[in-house]
Amino acid sequence: MKILYLSLLLTLLCSFTTPDELATLRQWTPAAIVSDQAVHAYSLDSCFQILPISDAIFSRMQGKSYKQNCTVPRTTLRYLRVLHRNIDGKTQLGEIVCNQTIASDLLDIFRQLYQANYKVERITLIDNYDADDERSMTANNTSSFNFRVVSGTTKLSKHAQGLAIDINPLYNPYVHLNNGKVEPANGKPYANNRTANRQIPVPFINTSDLCYRLFIQHGFRWGGAWRTVKDYQHFEK
Ligand SMILES: [Zn+2]
């Protein structure tokens, strides 16, 4: 009898899932919004995967995040499929390119953030913004791999190896304490007043935040703890 109820329930759930949504999930269309029923029908495990860099993904990266002088072998990078709750609380498809050594950490962290309904506005490859960090941050896009130097220096960033990730960068900007410069420029309203009793209801990363706790548990360092700059969006290994 129990099995009968269960199969009836499953049939009911699947009846709310359109074939279009399942196709979106199979093709993994970044930033597409899907229903929870579709996720259930497709399976949560299929929505959190670590894959090699396919030819299609590699060609998206060429000359953008994967620049001509890139010294990081393609084989050390991974493509992640993750789900996230967007700012409206809807389920959205995300994609991340990162180093293989942090791939399972990120998969676990993003799965826990999703299950806790933690809001992340957008997770797409920085190549959608021609690997221009300011443009990606302005759009509040969460991203990891980008073969680039640290802002304002000639030193290679941890992002160059895919060993760092920036989360909700608009709400968690990069603040230069010496000159007050804020990156992205539209992140200025979020540069200060980053306590729990805030007026602006957005997911701020601070030491009591779930995102912070998960990254620290997984052995990452947080840019918000640095002294000369505050890189609130940044976690690295
Ligand atoms: Zn960063």
Q: Is 2 part of any domain?
A: no
Domain residue limits at 171: 28-236
In the chain the first and final C-alpha atoms are separated, in Å, by: 51
Q: How far apart are CA 23 and CA 42, in angstroms?
A: 10
pTM for the whole structure: 0.91
Q: What is the model's pLDDT at position 151?
A: 81
Q: Is 55 part of any domain?
A: yes
Q: What is the model's pLDDT at position 16?
A: 63
Decide: helix, strand or coil at residue 229. strand
Q: Is 64 part of any domain?
A: yes
Copy the structure tokens of residue 37.
Answer: 């029923």
Q: Is 12 part of any domain?
A: no
Query: Hey, what amino acid is at 101?
Result: T
Report CA(87)–ligand 1 centroid distance (Å). 21
Residue with token string 């996230």: 84
Q: Is 50 part of any domain?
A: yes
Q: Is 99 part of any domain?
A: yes
Residue with token string 């990069």: 174
Domains identified in the chain, total number: 1
Helix 210-217 / helix 100-115 crossing angle, nearest 10 deg:
150
How do residues 94-113 score in pLDDT, each as one tens digit?
Answer: 999 999 999 999 999 999 99
How do residues 40-95 score in pLDDT, each as one tens digit?
Answer: 999 999 999 999 999 999 999 999 999 999 999 999 999 999 999 999 999 999 99
Report CA(79)–ligand 1 centroid distance (Å). 18
Q: Is 152 part of any domain?
A: yes
How do residues 2-32 score in pLDDT, each as one tens digit?
Answer: 555 555 555 555 556 788 999 999 999 999 9
Report CA(90)–ligand 1 centroid distance (Å). 25
Q: Is 6 part of any domain?
A: no
Report CA(159)–ligand 1 centroid distance (Å). 6
What count of other Cβ atoms lies within 10 Å of the Cβ of residue 226?
Answer: 14
Report CA(1)–ligand 1 centroid distance (Å). 54
